[in-house]
Amino acid sequence: MRLVLVALIAGIWLATGMRACAEPSKWSAMNVYDQAREQELAARAADWRNGPVVYQVIVDRFSPSSELAKKKSLYAAPRRLRDWQETPKTGSYLKKEGVWSHEVDFWGGDLGSLLGSIGYIQELGVDVVYLNPVFSSLTNHKYDAWDYHKVDPVYGSRADLAALAADLHRRGMRLVLDGVFNHMGRRSAMFEEALRNPRSRWRPFFKFSETSDRGYIGWYDVENLPELNLENPDVQKYIYGAPDSVVQSYLLKEEIDGWRLDVAFDLGFRYLTDLTQAAHTAKPGSLIVGEIWNYPEEWHPAVDGVMNMHGRKLLLTMLEGRLSGPMCSQMWETSIADAGMDHILKSWLVLDNHDTPRLPNLLPQVWQQKMARMLQFTLPGAVCLYYGSELGMTGGEDPEQRAPMRWDLVSPDNEMLALHRRLLKLRHAEPALRYGDFRRLHSENLFAFLRRTTSVRETVVVLANPTNRTVKELIQLRESKFQDVTPLRDQLSDRTFTVFSGTVDVEVPARSVLILKADTADYPHGYNRYDRIY
């Protein structure tokens, strides 16, 4: 019996071994370079912070509340409740309150109405919902917090925020809040007490100065935004240093997934580092992304990522005709090399938001807008969409760009919405676009690059022609696994080009973008022998 059992085990072992030899593992199909890269790419893929699609929402402006009749008292003067169809306009300065009248105009959205509209955001293909500040405050923008630990009643409560986070998590999505930790609001009870009483325990929380006409330092000299004294250890503990601090408590209690830090460039490396480490301790894998308009180098690991305003500036300047495509691609390559790919992947590429005119106002020609979005969706980093961007909403300088969501534009006939749906679908289908490496491609006229993993089947080649003439060029592909005579198919038009000797002859129409992928259907075995996907 024992001999039979040994023979049976040996037979199973031999059969398994022979099958393993006949069916090579993914590792045996890889070259030595890819075996190391595959582990790095797997780690990137597992981290939700790398390359998600982020959707920015001003709660007051996204979806009208069904509870307005019950909430009318919350909009008492100096606040004013506007009709959803109205467009925000610059108002007059209210000396008593220290704000402009348009800062206290409200349109009535709240967390409940946002929750009721999450289905639309999910259907688009969004991974992360990012909310402008929700703290108790005077204004509609809420960058003048009165109490960080309270959600403004016009929006709801912390329980409503927790319900939103839970709903998003059930849908496989994440929630990021806007943290305004450089300054508070002038009418904060903490600041008013500190202003009245030099011996108040809150006095050291703010920056008082005898050289200021007001007696205190306001951010950007704004009367309503007294700066916090971050050098004070008690302020650090209050903001991020303790489990019941602002940063940690929302991560732990409401189970949000991260913070976008307002004017993070003013906080500096030391305090950003401390805050980020505190957040990661409270909730491993949480995200800290900073509003940093500077060059993106050296900000990691002080923050996980930045709002990549530098990359935005390069794209807008190219599309305005003031920077060539090849020079723009060189600058992108340099910034990625300097900052590091893992940092750039966690950074948010923004084209427009609540602080800038909307994209159609910045780039009035439709081809410019389309090219900007195509590049935003194919370059490294998170795609950050401002609510209504997918609809082609317009809006000039503050406050016009903060108009209510145009639900009337959600239509199958909306060309911009159709483009965004295709780009969102493409982004989710292509691992290389979410977390793959970046390689600039040499060109005399084009903004040209590719994104790649270890699989050539996932390589995406992007060729953007911002000029007013058709460009015909030979492009060196910089991808060793492209087999000769492989078709490269454009993902938006089905045009095809053919690989020869590691190059491709292309013809790119004026003011257009090609997004190319290899079509390996007619040559599967040649690819299977070195591709991890088979």
Question: Angle 505-508-510 (CA atoms, 0-180°, nearest 5)?
Answer: 155
User: Considering only CA atoms, which of 530, 531, 524, 478 is closest in space to residue 501?
Assistant: 478
- Helices 366-378 and 309-319 pack at an angle, to 10 degrees, of 140
β-strand 93-94 against 99-100: which pairing, if any? antiparallel
Q: Which of 291, 304, 437, 458 is catalytic?
A: 291
Q: Which of 60, 254, 262, 490 is catalytic?
A: 262
The Cβ of residue 390 has, within 10 Å, a number of other Cβ atoms equal to 24
Distance between CA atoms of residues 273 and 277, nearest Å: 6
Q: Is 103 one of the annotated active-site residues of the chain?
A: no
Q: Is 213 one of the annotated active-site residues of the chain?
A: no
Structure tokens at 135: 């703290």
**Do residues 470 and 507 lie in contact, with contact meaning Cβ atoms separated by under 8 Å?**
yes
User: Considering only CA atoms, which of 465, 439, 457, 475 is closest in space to residue 517?
Assistant: 457
Residue 6 is inside which H or E element, if any? helix 2-22
Structure tokens at 232: 């004070």
Structure tokens at 221: 């000299």
Distance between CA atoms of residues 234 and 329, nearest Å: 45
CA distances from 236 to 52, 114, 157, 244 (A): 30, 32, 25, 12
Cis peptide bond prior to 301, omega within 30° of 0: yes
Q: Which residues contact 137 (CB under 8 A, 6 or more apart)?
A: 143, 144, 145, 146, 152, 185
Burial call 460-492: b when 16+ CB within 10 Å, e when fewer: bbbbbbbeeeebebebebbbebbeeebbbbbbe
Instruction: Indicate which residues carry an active-site annotation.
Output: 262, 291
